[in-house]
Chains A and B, each alone.
Chain A
Amino acid sequence: MVEAEGLTVQFARRVILRGIDFAAKAGGLTVIAGPNGSGKTTLLKALCGDLPHSGTIRLNGRDIRGLKAHQMADRRGVLAQETKLSFPFTVSEVVRIGISALGEPSDRHVCRKRRVAEALAAVDLEGFAGRFYQELSGGERQRVQLARVLCQIWEPVDASGPRWLFLDEPVSSLDIRHQIGVMELAADYARRGGGVIAVMHDLNLTAMFANHVVLLSRGQVVASGPPQLAMTDAALSETFGCQLRVGAKPSNDLFVLPHLVTGAAIGD
């Protein structure tokens, strides 16, 4: 369980998040959605332990203020929107740094090599191990970073409880095939007992893959619940400030389409 109670974050005097209550369960994929500047990324960063905050954030029941960096790292991996590397590492070196982040694992060299290969296969980057990270496209880099994060928290559950995957717009730079691939990977991590919290812009992918949706607007929660309950015409239109229509596919998955009224979609 990742929980926040009365979470308030402010930079200088500007309040970004005001009194947010948030809960994400392990074994499910929780999506945070909302318009630009609504505080999605700030909420994710606060949950990661990056930001000074008031209120309480608990990771698997423990207040994160009492957790050290390596204790947090053992429980959750974080994929940022973009990761710049300052030195010419190869793809396999990048992924391997994820494994050794918490010190050398007990299973030695051979396993480490296999783990890197498995992680690269999981993000559809077989054969990229020897390439230079800086020579890859944006979407490929993002998948390499995802492989690194996966290596850090490889087993979704262990004796000390579930592990967590925190993703900030994981699919925004990917083509549609890899968008689906990454979402399936995240959903699979959740199915195997881990927890996933993702900031997403794509409402259709959200409707397809999320178990729980939190809609944010101006630093406050507008709606929260399973997609079927939280993603209504009214809630989405209020959150994003434009007219949106929700429909259902034959599979019962939802889809979201903009509803244009004589070109006045923004600001009414």
Chain B
Amino acid sequence: MRARFVLLVLAAMTVVSAGAALHVGAFDAPTLPILMTWAGLDDGQGLREVDRIVILSVRLPRVIMGGMVGAALAMSGAVMQGLFRNPLADPGIVGVSAGASLGAVSIIVLGGTVFASYAGWAGSNALPFAAFLGGLASTYILYSIATRERRTSVATMLLAGIALGAFALAMTGLLIFVADDQQLRQISFWSLGSLAGATWEKVFSVLPIIAPSLAASVYLARGLNALAFGEAAAVHMGVSLQAVKNTAIFAIAAATGASVAVSGGIGFVGIIVPHVLRLLIGPDHRYLLPASGLLGAVFLIFADCISRTVVPPAELPIGIVTAAIGAPFFLWILLRRRGIIDL
């Protein structure tokens, strides 16, 4: 009962925060009339074209992108924690994000030389696509290492993921070492994360990747619940383990890769959102997964509002905002509820 109520509240919060985010910004525009005109409920008389562009072509895709990325990051975190039976697991930890970052940095540094033909072919999508490929590749390598005789060992995967992440980080460091000043600025801005580049084009390029992986995650709920009792017990309860693992891993890779691709490295959403929700509604994945998606969306839309408004007209990278809010909040929870994490 309580879980359903929280889901309802979160859904309402998503709508409200999206509306507020459309309205807030360095530029004042009559948000409601523009939206009503857009939806065909108003004839749009007396509205300026520049207002229309700010709301519909700049802020709206950005809010939608923020919601999608937030939902993807939070749900990937929740799925990975369920899969690894560890509340501290996160795509950032097993090297998926590091692989995606390596893909992106490769294009920034080597796009004009080694990968020139690729960069020319992919055009403006070169960086997002490379990040996505990096995330998928690192997940695939990780999965191959951890899978023996068609069984995936979670412990091996966690350890191998840490090693793989360190390797990707080292390669990224090597690229940063050879980068020139212009490239360094680009790398540091991208790696802190930002939704500033959001366009309708980007929204529609990641939607087909993120939406199915979110849908798949919800379908995983029953399997992840059983998995909390250990792999053997999950099989005894009738879960086809390999199918759950395959689906989970692919969904995590796709959602994380796509998110990193369009928004850079936004940290802390995948750990903090599911954790807060477990305290609020318990660990039942049937509610936890959709609730994580909603709260992740609200959190990122909210963080993006702050990043846009705190030092106008400049923008703070959103990764700074999520970590600056997220880390102290997370520590506060840990101090209040000591002992809730059982490794």
Contacts and interface: CB of A to CB of B under 8 A. Distances in A.
A and B: interacting chains: yes
Interface of A: 48-50, 68-74, 76-78, 80, 83-90, 93, 97-98, 100-103, 134, 152
Which 9 pairs across A and B sit closest by C-beta, in order of nearness?
Answer: A73-B238, A87-B283, A101-B237, A86-B85, A70-B238, A78-B236, A69-B240, A69-B238, A102-B238
Contacts of B87: 86-87
B229 A85 contact: yes
Interface string B85-96: 111000000000
Contacts of A101: 222, 226, 237-239
Given A69-B240, A85-B228, A97-B225, 20 more contacts: A50-B232, A68-B240, A69-B239, A70-B238, A70-B239, A70-B240, A73-B238, A76-B236, A78-B232, A80-B232, A85-B229, A86-B342, A89-B282, A89-B283, A89-B284, A97-B229, A98-B237, A100-B225, A101-B239, A152-B237
A90 B282 contact: yes
Nearest to A98: B237
Contact of B237 (A73, A84, A88): A73
A97 B226 contact: yes
B233 interface: yes
21 contacts: A50-B235, A69-B241, A71-B238, A78-B233, A83-B229, A83-B230, A83-B233, A86-B86, A86-B87, A86-B228, A87-B85, A87-B87, A87-B283, A88-B282, A89-B228, A89-B283, A100-B222, A101-B237, A101-B238, A102-B238, A152-B237
User: How many of chain B's residues touch chain A, expressed as a range?
Assistant: 20 to 34
B151 to A, nearest CB: 11
B235 A69 contact: yes
Contact of A74 (B86, B233, B238, B240): B238
B155 interface: no
Contacts of B228: 85-87, 89
B137 to A, nearest CB: 29
Nearest to A71: B238
B340 interface: yes
A88 B280 CA distance: 11
Could you say which of A86, A88, A97, A103 has the most chain B C-beta atoms within 10 Å of its C-beta? A86
Contacts of B235: 49-50, 69
Nearest to A74: B238
Contacts of A152: 237
B278 interface: yes
Interface in B225-262: 225-226, 228-230, 232-233, 235-241
Contacts, number: 74
A153 to B, nearest CB: 11
A90 to B, nearest CB: 7
A188 B222 CA distance: 30
Contacts of A76: 236
Nearest to B221: A100
Given A89-B228, A97-B226, A134 B237 contact: no
Contact of A88 (B222, B236, B278): B278
Interface string B261-293: 000000000000000001000111000000000
A99 to B, nearest CB: 10
A239 B87 CA distance: 45
A105 B228 CA distance: 21
Contacts of A103: 222
Contacts of A77: 236
Contacts of B284: 89, 93
B87 to A, nearest CB: 7
A80 B233 contact: yes
A106 to B, nearest CB: 16
A76 B236 CA distance: 8
B238 A84 contact: no
A108 B116 CA distance: 60
Could you say which of A84, A103, A152 has the most chain B C-beta atoms within 10 Å of its C-beta? A84
Contacts of A74: 238
Interface string B195-231: 0000000000000000000000000001001101110
Contacts of B239: 69-70, 101
A240 B287 CA distance: 50
Nearest to A104: B222
B15 to A, nearest CB: 28
A131 to B, nearest CB: 13
A100 B239 CA distance: 11
B152 to A, nearest CB: 15
A130 to B, nearest CB: 11
B159 to A, nearest CB: 17
A203 B229 CA distance: 30
B286 to A, nearest CB: 9
A97 B283 contact: no
A141 to B, nearest CB: 11
Contacts of A85: 228-229
A97 B237 contact: yes
Contacts of B236: 48, 72-73, 76-78
Could you say which of B87, B240, B284 has the most chain A C-beta atoms within 10 Å of its C-beta? B284
A252 to B, nearest CB: 36
Nearest to B237: A101
